[in-house]
Structures are given as structure tokens and as C-alpha cells.
Structure 1
């Protein structure tokens, strides 16, 4: 990502997004840190998600939630720079995950709707047999230990 063409206004919009999206403790990672967190998470999912951290899986998606909220707050130039990078990692996440099987009236969001990443689960896991997988991860992911 070439940031050399960004202006002071572009950087100010990233700072403004960071301030507006700060958590209850008043701090929030930067735009570029959140983009890196999404990349790191996707790489981990591609490698086989370690189910000893299964309870953190949906919490780890918060970096993608943050990016979804931040993009409209950015200048057009900064958005144009960030969006292709985020979309590239989104595509890799889609390839490394499957749609969850939801029960009841709720149906999955499409990959163009906000929050669609919450309706997916990793296709490959490094699974500890004593940790139950969520029932809506169906069909069950392939295990690295198989």
C-alpha cells in the first residue's frame, strides 16, 4: 500500500475514525493496525484455526467490524487506498471459511452485506477433541491432526 500520496486531510480522517471508534477505555488501534489485525487473523484461519482459542474466534472478528465502521469515515483517497487491501483479505477469508448453518428465522448475510464475516467458520482447524465445536459449524471442519 503506497501511502506517499496521502495528504494531511487523509491522515486526519484516519485519526478521526480512531477517536470515534475508541472503545470504552478510550483507546483504539490505528487504521493500519486494524488492517494488519485482519490480515493476521485471515492468515491464521487459512493455516488452520487453533480451537483452543475457539471462544475468541468471534471476538477476533472485531477488527473487521472496526474496518467496516471506519471506511465511511475516511476521505475518498484513503478509502480508495484501503478498500482493495481489505477486499483482498476478505476474499481470502471467504476462501478459507464456510457459511455457518443458522437455525430459525435468521439467515446468513451475503458477502456484500455488513457483518457477513460473522456468518462463516474456518474450514480447517487444529482441534483439541475436548473442546466442542459450535454446532452451526457444519459440516464439521477438516482437522489438521487427521
Structure 2
């Protein structure tokens, strides 16, 4: 039986289970899909306005999108369908506010694993403050 959100007990259990499994895998706490979707929305807004914190903070903030990607296969279809409607537009906004550099800028500070998400291979178009100096183009060393 579904509640007013349309989610069943199985749907809620899948969300809880995903948070618990990811916490057991090393995430610092049992996060919820809502928490991480909100964090992704916040980060996308910051990138659109011009993220100006240090690169270490930026890479730490990007991990919210990793959490969503890792949780995704653990969620029931109704949960994925409901959250897709929120996350997909955020992904599109992030793509529009960033440029694909194949991870070159960020990889100078953070190891990017081959199978890691596309968001690691993009850098913000609008670079401000500390992030601007951290991700500035490196001169060719030829």
C-alpha cells in the first residue's frame, strides 16, 4: 500500500537500506536521498553563481553526486522515477555551468577513477576566488 507520496513500504525500505549500505561502505553517516539531492541542488547553484571556495572543498562537495549514483541501483523503480525528475534537471544545469576538460583541472588535486561519474571530468565555467587560482589553466611545459 502506498502513502500520499506514492511510495510503498518497500520504496521507503530501499531508501533506508541504501543509506545504511553506503554508510557501511565508508560514507560518514547514513545519508538520505533527500539530503544528497538537496546538497547537489545547492552545489549546482553555487557553480552557476561562481564557486569560490578551495578545490578541496569543491571536490568534497562533488561527492554528493557520487552518493546519488551509488545509491541509485539500490532504490526501487518508483523511488528512482520520482527522484529522476529532480536530479536530471540539476545534472543538465551542472553540465551547462561547467565545461568538459576530461578531468584535467580537478585531477591535479584529486585522483579521478576511470569509472567515476561524468561530473568529475568537468570544471566550472565561472571560476572565482580560490577555485579560480586552483583550476587556472596550466602553461604548456613543452
- What TM-score do you get using the length of structure 2 for normalisation? 0.77
Farther off after superposition, 53-62 or 4-13: 53-62
C-alpha spacing 1:9/1:53, structure 2 compared with 1 (3 Å)? same
C-alpha spacing 1:128/1:97, structure 2 compared with 1 (3 Å)? same
Deviation at 1:126, TM superposition (A): 2.2
Unaligned 5+ segments in structure 2 are: 106-113
Paired residue for 2:110?
Answer: none
Deviation at 1:48, TM superposition (A): 0.5
SS at match of 2:127: strand
**Residue 54 of structure 2 contacts residue 134 of structure 2 at CA under 8 Å; is this kept in 1?**
no
Q: Superposition RMSD on alpha carbons, in Å?
A: 2.7
Normalized per residue, the structure richer in helix is: 2
1:108-137 Cα deviation digits (max 9, x unpaired): x8xxx85000001111122259x7323568
**Residue 54 of structure 2 contacts residue 130 of structure 2 at CA under 8 Å; is this kept in 1?**
no
Normalized per residue, the structure richer in strand is: 1
1:85 aligns with 2:86: yes
The count of aligned residue pairs is: 126
- What TM-score do you get using the length of structure 1 for normalisation? 0.75
Partner Cα separation in structure 2 for residue 56 and residue 91 of structure 1: 22
Unaligned 5+ segments in structure 1 are: 104-108, 139-146
